[in-house]
Amino acid sequence: MAEDLTVIRSTDKKEQYKSLLPQIEGLLEGETDLVANLANICAALKEQFGWFWVGFYLVKDGQLILGPFQGPVACTRIAKGKGVCGAAWEQEKTLVVPDVDAFPGHIACSSLSRSEIVLPLFHNDAVVGVLDVDSEHLSHFDEIDALYLEQIVKLIRF
């Protein structure tokens, strides 16, 4: 695997994702351990984008349980259908939330989080976890983030 990450200074997020995608592919290459790979994906995303919180929740025993992440401590368990993460799991689709206060049932792990994007992770057509990204800014995420983050999570081998 590549052992370091080149962070680019561009403010164009497409450029940032395009630089990151092959590097994440390189990080995952040859490593089969899921936790190691999820941890490096979080670190790479955090380094490039500096987001407030980025991390994974994994489905275990019928609920989402906190996995590798970067950022402040977070709630550890989320039920199906609860919060943005539980909703993305239940609806099996990416949810972009421009204002978390306007999302019914949003789980505030931190009062500093203002907007959020959550993507389900699929294995054998079932949701096995989610990628959750939080920002301290309103309307921080859009369809560009959804498009590229979907490509990143497709690289994960379960």
Residues that bind ligand SME (CB under 6 A): 53, 74-75, 78, 83-85, 106-107, 109, 113, 116, 132, 134
Residues 6+ positions from 48 with CB-CB distance below 8 Å: 5, 7, 8, 16, 19, 20
Nearer to ligand SME, 116 or 145 (CB): 116
Nearer to ligand SME, 6 or 139 (CB): 139
The DSSP 8-state label assigned to residue 101 in this structure reads G
Q: Which residue is nearest to ligand SME (CB)?
A: 83
Minimum distance of ligand SME from residue 5's CB (angstroms): 23
Minimum distance of ligand SME from residue 13's CB (angstroms): 20
What are the Cα distances from residue 146, in Å, to 1, 56, 70, 116, 139? Answer: 26, 15, 19, 11, 13
Nearer to ligand SME, 59 or 84 (CB): 84
Please report, to the nearest 10 degrees, the dihedral formed by the alpha carbons of residues 133, 19, 44, 51 taken in order: -40
